[in-house]
Amino acid sequence: MRRLLNDPYDVVEEMLEGFCRAHSNHVHLYEDDGRVVVSNLAPVKNKVGVIIGGGSGHEPLFLGYVGENFADAAVIGNINTSPSPEACYHAVKAVDAGRGCIYLYGNYAGDVMNFDMGAEMAAEEGIRVETVTVTDDVYSSKNIPDRRGVAGDFFVFKAAAAKAAMGADLDEVVAAAKKANANTRSMGVALSSATHPATGKAMFELADGDMEIGMGIHGEPGVRRGKLQNADKVVDEIMSFILPDLPFEAGDEVAVMVNSLGATPLMDLHICYRRVAQILDEKKIKIYSSLVGPYATTMDMCGMSITLMKLDSELKELLDYPCNAPYYVKK
């Protein structure tokens, strides 16, 4: 195992300690729960609390997006495991400023169950909590509400957090999150497994020289396995699923993310972005903004994903709204 760890069963606690010390100007651990990363500004007076979260192993998702005008707190579970209901509830207690809170996370059964329980605990104290789950992974289901949330989490989180920072009420923040989610589509390719720190072994089997198109960030089955092809062919295949799904059409404006799953270098990502841009040019789809880098990873997995978000004037404003978090700054 080529990882720099201590006790594999302490990785989450040690990561969170290191993260919060490294970024102490932005965040701290909640005093009553070491799995809740809280913005130093929270609770923000007269603002809806924005809470994101999920399992560890996808950094900088989720904890890296806690900060000014972004998320108010992130709830962190074990590796690829949902946070506990108590931690979800504690995040509400940490950030609620009297206008309610929104939970935002990828659509996975364990997360849905535990965040829902956290919301019920908050409701018993009279705190309203609403939820929007992200469902951007196009191949994970034909039925959109059943889809998984992957790198498109970022765009949904950003839109909702900006709406909250503008002073919107909880219903308006929920509407912005739902709109962002409805206009976001993602799909990826895995070239290797990630290494689970507790076992030191691959989380799934993928032969050297093979790839799997459409694989999920936890190793969920994709479209097909086969021998690794060149970057242009891989991007062409991924885009052939993403573009017709919304659909994205001539005249649209989009935000683009080419995301590393952990081990894929920026060189490769920019080669892939080049092909994405060529395809969008051919389709007469205008690129409004671009992100290239590791935004939602799976530890040391080699691979990448592509996300497109169809934009209108409101979504442009929300993406452009200034924020300052450890792993994303918008001026």
pLDDT tens digits, residue range 68-85? 999 999 999 999 999 999
Spatial contact of 235 and 279, defined as CB atoms under 8 Å apart: yes
Q: For the CA atoms of 220, 225, 228, 233, what is the dihedral angle to 10 degrees?
A: -90
- How far apart CA 127 and CA 6 sit, in angstroms, is 39
Does 298 score more than 90 pLDDT? yes
Per-residue pLDDT at 72 = 99
As a whole number, mean pLDDT of residues 9-35 equals: 97
The pTM (predicted TM-score) of the whole model is 0.97
What was the pLDDT predicted at 218?
A: 84
Question: Annotated catalytic residue: which of 23, 90, 196, 218?
Answer: 218
Is the pLDDT score of 148 beyond 90?
Answer: yes
Active site residue 58: yes
Catalytic pick from 23, 26, 58, 196?
58
- Are 95 and 72 a contacting pair, CB within 8 Å? yes
Largest pairwise CA distance in the chain: 55
Closest among 225, 155, 153, 154 to 189, alpha carbons compared: 225
